[in-house]
Amino acid sequence: MITPGACIGILGGGQLGRMLAFEAKRMGYFVIVLDPTLDCPAAQVCDQQIVAEYDDLNAALDLVSKCNVITYEFENVEVTIVEELEKNIGVYPGSKVLRTTQHRFLEKSFFKDSRILVTDFALVQNLNDLKQAAIKIGFPGILKTCRFGYDGKGQRVLKNLKDAENAFNEFKDQDLIWEKMVDFDKECSVIASRNLSGEIVIYPISENIHKDNILDISIVPARISEKSKQQAIQAVKTIAEDLEIVGTFCVEFFVLRNGEVMANEIAPRPHNSGHYSIEACYTSQFENQLRAVCNLPLGSPDLIMPAVMVNILGDGQGNTFSGAEDLLKAKGVYLHLYGKAVAKAQRKMGHITVLDQSVDQALEKALNLRQQINWI
C-alpha cells in the first residue's frame, strides 16, 4: 500500500491529470506531472512539473526517481518507455494493457478472444488487404488508423470501394482497421477501477451522446435495459481480469437495437464520460484511480443522485469564459474549467455536471445553462 505522504507521478498533464491531482492533494499525496507544455492543466495543481516530451527516457527516469508509483492520463505514452520504467517502479496500468489498447486491431482481437461481442473487422496493411476487407467485411464500413485516433480523428466512413481507396491513400503507411458500420440505438460507457489486489468496482453506466465525434453529453443512469446493463458489466469484468488492469479504465459500447451490447474501445485511464462521478458518486473515478494504483481499498462507485454532464468546448471566438451567473445560482450544478489558456474551436475547456431528481430534469437544466455560456 502506498499511503498519503507518498508521491504520485503522472505521465500527461491535461484535465484528467488535473482532476486526479485534485483528489491526490486532498488525500495528502505529493504529485509530480511530466508534460511537454509548461503550466499545463495538471501542473497548475501539482507540486512539481517535469517539462519534457513523453518519449524522453531520461526525463521519465527522473520522474521515477522522485515518485513511489506512476500512472498516466494519456494512453499514447510509448510502450518501450513504460517497459523501462517498470524495471524500477510500478506503472499502472502497465505495458501489457497499453500494448493492447494502443492498437485498434489488437484491441478488437482481444475482445474476440475474450468472447466479448464486437463488430466484424479486418487488419489492412496493403491494397490487397483493403480489397479482401471490402469483400469480407463490406459496406458501409469505417476505416480507422490503428493508432493515435481520438475524437473521430483518423477515421473515414466507407460507402463504396472508391471511398475505401481514397481513405487508404490518405492514411498511407499506417496499420489500418476496417470495421463494419454498427447500426446502433445508443452509445454507452462503463467506468471501472481495479486495484493491485484484484478488487474491482464498476460505476453506473453512462449513456453518451456525441457531436462531431466528440463526447457532448453523458446521462447517468443510462436509459437502457437491465439486460444491456448486465451484459456490459459482465464484459467489463472480463476485460479487467483478462488484461489484469490496475487503475481506472473505461469501455465504450454500442447498444444495438435488439438490446445486445457490442464493445468498441477501451481507454486505460479515467474518461470524459466518467466526470459525473466527481459529484454524483460516493467515490469519483479519479479517487479510485489513485486508490487502485496505490493498492488501497477501493471506494464505493454507487450513484448518490441522477446526473448529467455536458462538455464545454472552445469556439475560437475568445479565451475568456462568460455567462456563468445563472449556472452559479442553480442548485446541484457544478462548474469545472480546466485552466487552458486558449479556447480553440472544439477544444475541451471544461464541463458542467448537474444532479437532479431525474435524468430528464438534470438534462433540461444542463442544456439550458450551457446555452448561456460563451467565450469572449
If binding is defined by CB under 6 A, does position 78 make contact with ligand AMP?
A: no
Closest alpha carbon to 236 in 180, 193, 207: 193
If binding is defined by CB under 6 A, does position 79 make contact with ligand AMP?
A: no
Q: Between 135 and 328, whose beta carbon lies closer to ligand AMP?
A: 135
Q: Between 182 and 367, whose beta carbon lies closer to ligand AMP?
A: 182
Contact flags string 185-204 toward ligand AMP, x per CB under 6 A: --x-----------------
Q: Between 195 and 272, whose beta carbon lies closer to ligand AMP?
A: 272
Which of 3, 125, 160, 213 contacts ligand AMP by CB under 6 A? 213
Sign, Cα dihedral of 299, 304, 306, 311: negative
Distance between CA atoms of 356 and 370, rounded to whole angstroms? 16
Contact (Cβ atoms closer than 8 angstroms) between residue 243 and residue 96: yes
* Number of neighbouring beta carbons within 10 Å of residue 95: 18
Distance between CA atoms of 78 and 87, rounded to whole angstroms? 15
Piece of the chain touching ligand AMP by CB under 6 A; list 162-170, 177-185, 268-276, 358-366: 177-185
If binding is defined by CB under 6 A, does position 102 make contact with ligand AMP?
A: no
Contact (Cβ atoms closer than 8 angstroms) between residue 299 and residue 375: no
Size of the site for ligand AMP (CB under 6 A): 13
Please state the closest distance from residue 320 (CB atom) to ligand AMP, in A. Answer: 31
How many helices (H) and strands (E) the chain has is answered by 12, 20
Q: Between 90 and 154, whose beta carbon lies closer to ligand AMP?
A: 154
If binding is defined by CB under 6 A, does position 339 make contact with ligand AMP?
A: no
If binding is defined by CB under 6 A, does position 223 make contact with ligand AMP?
A: no
If binding is defined by CB under 6 A, does position 206 make contact with ligand AMP?
A: no
Q: Between 271 and 365, whose beta carbon lies closer to ligand AMP?
A: 271
Backbone angles phi and psi of 25, in degrees to 5: -65, -40
At 61, which amino acid appears? Answer: L
Please state the closest distance from residue 300 (CB atom) to ligand AMP, in A. Answer: 28
Which of 23, 73, 75, 179 contacts ligand AMP by CB under 6 A? 179
Q: Where are the alpha helices (DSSP H) in 143-215?
A: 161-170
Backbone angles phi and psi of 177, in degrees to 5: -125, 135
Please state the closest distance from residue 119 (CB atom) to ligand AMP, in A. Answer: 5
**Neighbouring C-alpha atoms within 13 Å toward the C-beta of 24:** 32
Which of 28, 152, 297, 318 contacts ligand AMP by CB under 6 A? 152
Distance between CA atoms of 283 and 110, rounded to whole angstroms? 29
Which of 36, 149, 259, 332 contacts ligand AMP by CB under 6 A? 149
Cross-strand bridge partners of residue 247:
194
If binding is defined by CB under 6 A, does position 182 make contact with ligand AMP?
A: yes
9: left (phi over 0), alpha (psi -120 to 50) or beta: beta
Please give the C-alpha separations between residue 275 and each of 102, 123, 172, 216, in angstroms, as whole numbers.
Answer: 22, 33, 36, 12
Piece of the chain touching ligand AMP by CB under 6 A; list 179-187, 272-280, 291-299, 315-323: 179-187
With CB atoms as reference, the residue minimizing the distance to ligand AMP is 182
Piece of the chain touching ligand AMP by CB under 6 A; list 106-114, 128-136, 178-186, 326-334: 178-186
Piece of the chain touching ligand AMP by CB under 6 A; list 28-36, 168-176, 180-188, 242-250: 180-188
How many angstroms separate the most distant Cα atoms in the chain? 60
DSSP label at residue 129: H
Binding residues for ligand AMP, per CB under 6 A? 119, 142, 149, 152, 179, 181-182, 187, 210, 213, 252, 264-265
